[in-house]
Amino acid sequence: MEKIHDNGYADSEFLKTPAVPMFYRPTSTGIFLYPPANFSQTQSLRIHFTRDISAFAPTDTNKYPGFDPQFHEGLSIFMALQYAKANSLPVAGGVMRGGWKTGLLGDWSDFEDRIKRHYSERFKQMFPPRIHVQDATRVSQ
């Protein structure tokens, strides 16, 4: 969007004549292609995505979070942490010297690390890094 607006275009005016798409912009509900595709059905674009949001209500008894089930317990830990913080309960925990986290804060931090590690490892074999950055400021010993 910045490049479109920086070049003086409105979103609806940027590469509006159908052709072979060169750019895309993901949004919360889909993907915009620039220019719009002029392909026939045999030359179409295939996109895989997860389902749309399904909001929870207090009365729901059969809905599940839209992420890996092994991390569902983290939701209850996070909610307990928020409650403990709001009510100044000691079980909320804190950060000790050396950066060690205690109580529910420590439990949530462990879940958060596991979630980040899990999702950052997905599809790693299919999409290896193509750019390797070396730290030029590091002094070798």
Residue 99 lies in a domain: yes
- Are both 36 and 77 inside the same structural domain? no
For 41, half-sphere exposure in the C-beta direction (CA atoms, 13 angstrom radius) is 0
Largest CA distance in the chain: 63
Q: Is residue 75 part of a domain?
A: yes
Reduced DSSP (H G I as helix, E B as strand, rest coil) percent helix, strand, coil of the chain, to 5? 40, 10, 55
Task: Read off the pLDDT of residues 115-132 as tens digits, 9 standing for 90 and up.
Answer: 888 888 777 766 666 666
The pLDDT of residue 48: 66
Give domain status of residue 59, yes or no: no
**Same domain assignment for residues 73 and 116:** yes
How many Å separate Cα 46 from the centre of its chain?
A: 21
Q: What is the pTM of this model?
A: 0.47
Domain annotation covers residue 9: yes
The token pair at 115 is 């979630």
Does residue 94 lie within any of the structural domains? yes
Query: In the chain, how many domains are there?
Result: 2
Residue 25 is given by DSSP the state E
Give the mean model confidence (pLDDT) for residues 45-53: 65
What pLDDT, on a 0 to 100 scale, did the predictor assign at position 82? Answer: 92
At 95-111, the pLDDT tens digits run: 887 778 888 899 999 99
Is pLDDT larger for residue 130 or for residue 27?
Answer: 27
Assess if residue 58 is contained within a domain: no
Domain of 34?
2-40
Task: Give me the pLDDT at residue 43, please.
Answer: 61
